[in-house]
């Protein structure tokens, strides 16, 4: 039997990969520095032994702002070429096919959509934070 070669399609188109990667990197930096800001200035739910570093708030603001600047481009791209990876009109009904491939796709679509929504709230509430 002759095995048919399948053509290679990259998992993500190049621009999406770049925007996805940059958003992810800036966001991870924002989350880590956000925790350090909390640890330095607040700590009401407990602390881990990080050095107290007052400048961390400004560093967090910088990473937060970078994320905010890249995010709109990523969102436009996600809503256009990445549309199939977001929630579809039949996604909820497909959640009944537990364990089948479409179930995993649906979970992935819901996760992607919630991540975009969550980050939108985090960025806009962050933008409203005052230094003081
Ligand atoms: C996913 C998590 C977070 C994201 C994406 C995020 C994003 C942002 C953004 C976009 C800004 C505005 C930066 C600017 O306009 O210059 C900001 C500022 C700020 N954020 Fe966050 N933030 C997050 C979590 C947190 C947490 C958990 C804290 C709690 C300590 C926090 C504390 C602050 C403070 C105090 C500022 C004001 C910084 C300044 O103006 O110097 N953030 N954040």
**What separation in Å is there between the alpha carbon of 56 and the centre of ligand 1?**
11
**What separation in Å is there between the alpha carbon of 46 and the centre of ligand 1?**
19
The whole-number pLDDT of residue 73 equals 95
Kindly report, residue by residue over 73-124, the tens digit of the pLDDT: 999 999 998 899 999 999 999 999 999 999 999 999 999 999 999 999 999 9
Domain-located, residue 37: yes
The whole-number pLDDT of residue 5 equals 64
pLDDT band at 50 (very low <50, low <70, confident <90, very high): very high
Q: What is the DSSP letter of 84?
A: G
Domain-located, residue 64: yes
Domain-located, residue 121: yes
39: containing domain: 14-127
Q: What is the DSSP string of 31-62?
A: HHHHHHHHHHHT-TT---SPPP-TTHHHHHHH
Per the structure, the count of domains in the chain is 1
Domain-located, residue 5: no
**What separation in Å is there between the alpha carbon of 86 and the centre of ligand 1?**
26
Nearest CA to ligand 1 atom 43: 126
Q: What is the DSSP letter of 26?
A: H
* Percentage with pLDDT > 90 across the chain: 83
Domain-located, residue 8: no
73, 19 in Cβ contact below 8 A?
A: yes
* Cα-Cα end-to-end distance for the chain: 71
Domain-located, residue 114: yes
0.85 exceeded by pTM: yes
Domain-located, residue 47: yes
Domain-located, residue 132: no
Query: What does the pLDDT average to over 2-16?
Result: 72
Written as six digits, the tokens of 59 are 């560093």
Nearest CA to ligand 1 atom 16: 61
**What separation in Å is there between the alpha carbon of 102 and the centre of ligand 1?**
37
129 lines ligand 1 (CB under 6 A): yes
Candidate of 68, 126, 130 to mutate for ligand 1, largest count of ligand atoms within 8 Å of Cβ = 126
The whole-number pLDDT of residue 4 equals 63
């Amino acid at each position: 039997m002759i095995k048919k070669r399948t053509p290679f399609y990259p998992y993500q188109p190049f621009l999406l990969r770049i925007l996805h990667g940059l958003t992810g990197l800036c966001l991870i930096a924002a989350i880590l520095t956000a925790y350090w800001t909390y640890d330095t200035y607040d700590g009401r739910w407990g602390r881990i032994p990080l050095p107290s570093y007052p400048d961390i708030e400004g560093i967090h603001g910088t990473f937060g702002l970078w994320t905010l600047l890249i995010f709109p481009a990523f969102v436009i791209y996600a809503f256009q070429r990445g549309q199939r990876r977001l929630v579809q009109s039949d996604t909820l009904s497909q959640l009944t096919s537990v364990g089948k491939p479409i179930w995993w796709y649906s979970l992935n679509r819901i996760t992607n959509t919630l991540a975009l929504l969550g980050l939108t709230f985090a960025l806009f509430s962050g933008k409203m934070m005052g230094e003081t």
